[in-house]
Structure 1
Amino acid sequence: MLTANRRGHPDMTAGEIRLPAYGTDPGTAKAAERQAREARQDAERYARRGNMTMHAISLQAAKVLEAAAATHRIPAPKARG
């Protein structure tokens, strides 16, 4: 069961692994890219420590965040031919 602290954020000790959204607009590509990078770093740390469960969870989180960042990017203009 997840609990929330006074500010309404999930209690990280209750098993919630979502990364907090920093900055003024948490829905930006920049925020998603930063969170994906942090998740990959977490995955590397867990792998070095031998915690393969958290390694896999962090890798999955990084993949989801990278996909979110990709949806925020503006597509490149197509070349006219």
Structure 2
Amino acid sequence: MIYFILDMLRKHILIMLLLPVAILITGHFLHARDLDPAYAAVQVSRLMRMPTPGQGQVGQVQTFGEMARGMTADIKQVIGRRVEQ
């Protein structure tokens, strides 16, 4: 039991020591445009106009449900390819 407690303490201390490093790395890769609401709106608009698999309409605005179904289909294709290999 004592080894379990010591192991948990060691893991949590390691996580606490590495957390500031992760925050610094994340902050380094963020740009001012990433925090700009106008840029976010443009990105969401661009994503909503992307075609879903099986649809040839490029300019049609999609609902979030259609986007989710498209992403689900893409994920299933990737997982299916990895399972077959």
TM-score w.r.t. the length of structure 1 is 0.32
Q: Which has the higher contact order (CA 8 A, sep 6+)?
A: 1
**Structure with the bigger percentage of helix:** 2
TM-score w.r.t. the length of structure 2 is 0.30
